[in-house]
Amino acid sequence: MFKRILIANRGEIALRIIRACRELDISPVCVYSQADRDGPWLESADQSVCIGPAASKDSYLRIDRIIAAAEVMHADAIHPGYGFLSENSHFAEVCRDSGFEFVGPSPEAMCALGDKVNCKRLARKAGTPVFPGTEGGIEDLDEAVQSAREIGFPVIVKAAGGGGGRGMRIARDEASLLDGIASARQEAAAAFGNPMVFVEKYLEHARHFEVQVIGDKHGNAVHLYERDCSSQRRHQKLIEEAPAPGVLQKNRDRVCESAAELIRQAKYAGAATCEFLMDHKQNFYMLEVNTRVQVEHPITEAITGVDIVKTGIRVAAGEPLPMKQSDIRVNGHAIELRINAEDPARNFMPQAGRIETFVVPGGPGIRMDTHARAGYTIPTHYDSMIGKLIVHAPDRATCIKRCLTAMSEFKIGPMRSTMPLYSRLLQEKSFIDASHDIKWVERLLESDRAKK
């Protein structure tokens, strides 16, 4: 097992990894930017070094400085967390070449699954359901038009190297398809250095269904069932739950097993998430594979009892997975609410500044993952998530009630957070009866604006 892990991240995820390290008797060490000098999570680390100014490109994205810090602090492994360099295969390779174990997949497996065209090809082989669409990248426009006709409009043009919702265009006819291909290519070349785009069916009404999977270096892989993340705004998840409500057991088993098979075939070691869209007939179509731990991993931990972060560290150290598929059972229901320092009443304006009041809820089934506290000043340079409330209960109805009580106990000031919005969302009929889809929050906010 590792003796010392360097955490190349910040905030609540750094704290989450520090806690996992402690339970495994590993010494956690951190890097931080000048803006995070007073980051409360640094107090829990054994040692930390400043690696540069506030801007991520000058600190958390500086591979050379992170490697130097790992050398100086005598780490034997590097954990990327999520965001920043977590899906950068070059970083994973530099870690390996510099003699540090990267807590995550090999650069080869990351590349194979990170490229959307290649990932789709592997998924077809593994029997993981994907959208109908072009086989690979688009070579010529006639072929693209031909396949769009076969699939049927609307279709979506997407970048092979895409991420963060960029390089995508929806096309409802042939003219907009040709425009879409040209502009998506340009955007993709500029953003990802790879102009390759492909076309697939566009699904109008869908739910976001994602499968947590984890593999080891000995060819084993299991799934930890799924999460439903259909409550989003601008492709950002706000509320996640596990398991996905209303999905038939046989459909769930089939898609979850196919996701585990995909990472087994990709010889993938570590935690990953296969993201799908699900239509109202419970057909599944894979969107992409995220080759890292996700923000919403705790709800899966709550319902399965598996510590995903600790298991990820164990498999990176070469241990076999400590469980078989048949050992994994779903227990109850869990919901995660992302606490963003944003004001939902003022178009989600980011809220910076010093936190004066911070009251954390408690009681059975309540877990709060946060690095914030009273006296902490939220820097403006990073994303606005300051914590996550994870609520576990025997069933979904109790879980929703428990969330409402916990939210009423939670207090932050003087800034606003997204919590008041969630109290309302959890009481909406379409959420309660699970007839919602990935656009439901935006439709609701839109109708609020129209009423004003």
Residues known to be catalytic:
292
CB of 5 to ligand ADP, least distance (A): 27
Please choose, out of 4-12, 156-164, 217-225, 347-355, the segment that lies near ligand ADP by the rule CB under 6 A: 156-164
Contact pick of 162, 270, 361, 387 for ligand ADP (by CB under 6 A): 162
Q: Is 165 one of the binding residues for ligand ADP (CB under 6 A)? A: yes
Residues numbered 115 to 144 that lie near ligand ADP (CB under 6 A) are 131
Residues numbered 231 to 250 that lie near ligand ADP (CB under 6 A) are 235
How many angstroms separate the CA atoms of 377 and 220, rounded?
A: 44
Q: Please identify, using beta-carbon distances, which residue of 262 and 391 lies nearer to ligand ADP.
A: 262
Q: Is 438 one of the binding residues for ligand ADP (CB under 6 A)? A: yes
Which residues lie below 8 Å from residue 264, measured CB to CB, with a gap of 6+?
A: 126, 215, 219, 220, 221
**Interface size with ligand ADP, residues (CB under 6 A):** 20
Neighbours of 187 (CB within 10 A): 18
- Residue 166 burial class via C-beta count within 10 angstroms: exposed 0-12, middle 13-18, buried 19 and up: middle
Contact pick of 101, 187, 200, 296 for ligand ADP (by CB under 6 A): 200
Q: Is 163 one of the binding residues for ligand ADP (CB under 6 A)? A: yes
User: At which residue do the structure tokens 């799908």 appear?
Assistant: 276
Q: Is 192 one of the binding residues for ligand ADP (CB under 6 A)? A: no
Taking CB atoms within 8 Å and a gap of at least 24, the contacts of 25-32 are 25/1, 26/1, 26/2, 26/313, 27/3, 28/4, 29/4, 29/5, 29/69, 29/73, 29/75, 30/6, 31/6, 31/7, 31/59, 31/60, 31/65, 31/66, 31/69, 32/59
Give me the residues paired with residue 388 across strands.
338, 369
Indicate left, alpha or beta for 379 from its phi (over 0: left) and psi (-120 to 50: alpha): beta
Please choose, out of 101-109, 195-203, 312-320, 383-391, the segment that lies near ligand ADP by the rule CB under 6 A: 195-203
Amino acid at 277: L
Please choose, out of 198-206, 246-254, 374-382, 402-410, the segment that lies near ligand ADP by the rule CB under 6 A: 198-206
Q: Please identify, using beta-carbon distances, which residue of 4 and 166 lies nearer to ligand ADP.
A: 166
Q: Is 156 one of the binding residues for ligand ADP (CB under 6 A)? A: yes
Task: Report the interface residues with ligand ADP, using CB under 6 A.
Answer: 131, 156, 162-166, 168, 200-203, 206, 208, 235, 275, 277, 287-288, 438
